[in-house]
Amino acid sequence: MGLVGSMGAVLAPSTPIGSRLVNAATAAPPLPQGRRVIVIGAGMAGLAAARKLLASGLSVTILEARDRIGGRVWTDVHDGIPLDMGAGWIHGPEAGNPISALTKEAGAKTFMTDDDSIIVIGANGKEVTEEQFGRGEKRVKKTLRRIATRMEEDDQTDLSLAKAIDRTDPGALRDPFVQYELTSNIEFDTGGWLEALSAKNYLGDEKYPGKDLILPDGYGAIPRLLASGLDIRLRQIVTHIEHNPTGVSVSIGATTLNADFAVVTLPLGVLAAKSVPINPPLSHAKQLAMSRLGVGQVNKIFLIFDHAFWPLKTQYFGFHSPIRGRFAYFMNYRTFSPFNCLVTFGFGLEGGIVERMSEAQLIAEITPHLKTLFGPQASAPKRAICTHWNEDPFARGAYCFASVGSTKKDHKIMAQPEGQRLFFAGEHTHEQYRATVHGAYLSGIREADRILASL
Ligand SMILES: Cc1cc2nc3c(=O)[nH]c(=O)nc-3n(C[C@H](O)[C@H](O)[C@H](O)COP(=O)(O)OP(=O)(O)OC[C@H]3O[C@@H](n4cnc5c(N)ncnc54)[C@H](O)[C@@H]3O)c2cc1C
C-alpha cells in the first residue's frame, strides 16, 4: 500500500467519526488543520503525548481500538463497585511520581496503602510469625544479593532467576517462605516468572520509593483528565502503518488517514504479535529488542461478597499458596471503601492460567483458601471477576519484563523513532520506569518533545 495523497492532507475515513471523545456511530466533523499528528492508542502514553502536542499548537487525533480510553488503566464498575482492572497503585506519590500531581488536578479521592498492614498465613492455616517471615525474607535477600554480586563480578552470561537461585541456594525454591517472598514481590512487580526473568536485569528499573496511593473511586479519573479537550476516535482499530521521509499513513481497515507524524503506543505484546504491520518494517535492532523483552502476565480476580468475614482494618493478606503465583496475595477493599471485596491475583505463569478458568472454577478453588485464611466463617464469593489481559488483543499481556538475555538498552531501542516521522511511546519504551503508569505517561511526553524538537 502506498501513501495516499500529499503528506499533511488527512483523508476523512469512511467510518463516521466524531470530534472529542466519540464512538464510531456519530457524525464526522471536519478534521483539524496545521501540522498533524496521529497518535495510535488512548492509554497513558498516547494521552500524555497528545495533550502535550495539542498544547504546543499541533493538530492531534488519537485513534483508539477499544470503545473506551485508558488502555491498561481501566476502572470497570460491577454492582456499583469501581474495580481497577489494570493499574491500581500510584507508586511513591511523595517521591516525585508525576501521576500524583494529576490526581490532585483531577480532584480524585486518594488513599495511602500500608504494605506493613499484612497478615501472612501458611498453607496449614497458621499465621506466619514475624520470626518466620523475617527468616524467609533474609534468606531471599541474601540469595539475591549473592546473585547480583556474581553477575557483576564475573560478567557472567545471563541465566534465569530460577536457575541462579537454585545454583546459589539449592532447595530454596521449594521453601514456602521463599516462594511466597519471590512471587509476591518479584513475580508481581515484574509480571515475569522466575524461569524467564533475567538474573542480571530483572531489577534494572528504578522506583519512586515510599508508600503507594490508590484511588478508591477508580484510577480511570487520570485518563479522563488527560483526555479532556482531545480529539479521540474510539473503535478505530489500526490495521496498517506506512511511513516515509515526508509523512505517515495509518489505515483502519479500508480507510487511510495521512499525517505529518504518528506516535505508536501499541503495547509490546501487540507489536511483537505483528498484528499491525508497519512498512517499511521495524529496524532489525528493534525487532531483536522486541524478541528479547518479555511480556508479563498479571491478572486480578475481584471477589465480591454479601458480607465481610475478614479483619476489616488489615490492608493485605498473604498466603502460602500451594501453587506459586496463584492466589498468594489478597487486597482488602474494606480499608478504603464500603464494598465487601477482596482482590487476589495470578502472577507470572499463573497470570496466564487463571484467566482461562471459569468463574465457577475460580470460586471452587479460591473458597477453600479463604477458609484456610479466615476460618470456617469464610464464605464463597458471590462473584469472582477475572481480568483477561493476555487474551485481550489490544494488550496481549500485562506489562513488559526483563527476560533472560534482555538489557536496559532494549527499552531505549524500542523508544527509537523509525525514520523521521514514526515515533514510539508506551511503558515498554521507558528505560527507568518500565511496566508502570508513570513510565507510560513520561514516555508520551518524551515523544511529544521529540516531535516538537524535530520541527
Ligand atoms: C493487571 C495490571 C496491573 C497493573 N498495576 C499497575 C500499578 O499498580 N501501577 C502502575 O504504575 N502500573 C501498573 N500496571 C501497568 C500500567 O497499567 C501500564 O504500564 C500502563 O498503563 C501502560 O500504558 P501504555 O499507554 O503504555 O499502554 P496501554 O495503556 O496499553 O495503551 C495502548 C493503547 O493502544 C490501544 N491499541 C492496541 N492495539 C490497537 C490498534 N490496533 N489500533 C488502535 N489502538 C490500539 C489499546 O487499546 C490501548 O488503549 C498494571 C498493568 C496491569 C495489566
pLDDT tens by residue, 186-226: 999 999 999 999 999 998 899 999 999 999 999 999 999 99
Residue 147 contacts residue 285 (beta carbons within 8 Å): no
For residue 152, what pLDDT is reported? 84
**Cα 300 to ligand 1 centre (Å):** 15
Protein residue whose Cα sits closest to atom 26 of ligand 1: 426
Q: Kindly give the parts of the chain with pLDDT less than 70.
A: 1-33, 154-155
The CA distance from 316 to 318, in Å, is 7
Residue 112 contacts by C-beta under 8 Å, 6 or more apart in sequence? 93, 211, 212, 213
Ligand 1: atom nearest CA of 429 is: 26
pLDDT at 285: 97
CA dihedral 290, 351, 223, 418 (to 10 degrees): 10
- Could you tell me the three cell numbers for 8? 499533511
Q: Domains plus CATH for the chain?
A: 21-70+219-293+401-454 (3.50.50.60), 75-116+210-218+295-386 (3.90.660.10)
* Cβ neighbours, 10 Å, residue 359: 13
CA of 154 to the centre of ligand 1 (A): 37
CA of 5 to the centre of ligand 1 (A): 33
Q: Give pLDDT, residue 153.
A: 76
Give how far Cα 429 sits from Cα of 213, 260, 399, Å.
24, 22, 11
Greatest C-alpha distance within the chain:
71
Q: Quick one: which atom of ligand 1 is closest to the CA of 398?
A: 53
Instruction: Quote the distance between the C-alpha of residue 293 and its chain's center.
Output: 14
Helix (H, G, I), strand (E, B) or coil at 316: strand
Ligand 1 pocket test, candidate residues 399, 411, 414, most atoms within 8 A of CB: 399
Can you give the pLDDT at residue 12? Answer: 34
What residues does ligand 1 touch, defined as CB less than 6 Å away? 40-46, 63-66, 71-73, 86-89, 91, 237-238, 265-267, 270, 276, 298, 300, 387, 389, 394-395, 398-399, 426-427, 435-438, 440
Instruction: Read off the pTM.
Output: 0.93
Ligand 1: centre distance to CA 184 (Å): 21
Report how far ligand 1's centroid is from the alpha carbon of 97 (Å): 17
CA of residue 260 to ligand 1 center, whole Å: 25
Question: What does DSSP assign to residue 426?
Answer: S
Give residue 154's pLDDT: 63
Report the separation in Å between the CA atom of 10 and the middle of ligand 1, taken as the mean of its atom positions. Answer: 27
Looking at residue 15, its pLDDT comes to 32
